[in-house]
């Protein structure tokens, strides 16, 4: 089992953590950004802000009126020479079993956490750790994104990082 500090400093490969210290790890990550096409899966509990994040990436705009994602949505966004295919996966309990399937062949996984939703943080942490235990996802970079940090009740990034 890896510690929270190890998870923050690196990414998983072959059941162990590859830290950011080696030039090889740096090159691996840098190559992601020179690809012409990337695929990202955005996952997290319902109402974490995954669809809003996709819309901000695609249009630069934010809307308060969001409809919960049922199943999944896919959106392609082109920025410069890079096309990003964004898989926005529903966060309701009935859709969580399909997260692994949509994360297997992606360039990276973005796990979105509502930093202001204290009631569901333990559920979110459990779902994240369940995902990290999937052998089919070994080696896929993971970003844990704390969302809604502008709310007064939101946890600090340090507290959220330690908890997750």
Q: Return binding residues.
A: 44-51, 69, 91, 147-150
CA–CA dist 113, 115 (Å, integer): 6
Residues 130, 131, 135, 138, CA torsion sign: negative
The annotated binding site for Mg(2+) is made up of: 51, 69
Quick check: 108 and 143 in contact, CB under 8 A? yes
Other residues' Cβ atoms within 10 Å of the Cβ of residue 135: 8
Q: Which amino acids are annotated as binding site for GTP, given as ranges?
A: 44-51, 91, 147-150
3-class secondary-structure state, position 34? coil
Q: Alpha carbon of 10 to those of 2, 40, 96, 138, 162: distances in Å?
A: 11, 18, 25, 13, 15
């Amino acid at each position: 089992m890896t510690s929270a500090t190890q998870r923050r400093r690196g990414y998983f490969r072959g059941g162990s953590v590859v830290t950011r210290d080696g030039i090889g790890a740096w090159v691996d990550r840098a190559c992601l950004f020179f690809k012409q096409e990337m695929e990202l899966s955005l996952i997290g509990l319902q109402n974490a802000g995954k669809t809003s994040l996709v819309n901000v990436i695609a249009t630069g705009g934010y809307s308060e009126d969001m409809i919960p994602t049922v199943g999944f949505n896919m959106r392609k966004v082109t920025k410069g020479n890079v096309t990003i295919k964004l898989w926005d996966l529903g966060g309701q309990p009935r859709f969580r079993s399909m997260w692994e399937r949509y994360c297997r062949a992606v360039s990276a996984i973005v796990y979105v956490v509502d930093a202001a939703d204290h009631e569901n943080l333990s559920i979110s942490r459990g779902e994240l750790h369940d995902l990290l235990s999937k052998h089919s996802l070994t080696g896929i970079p993971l970003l844990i994104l704390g969302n809604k940090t502008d709310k007064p009740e939101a946890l600090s990034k340090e507290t959220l990082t330690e908890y997750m």
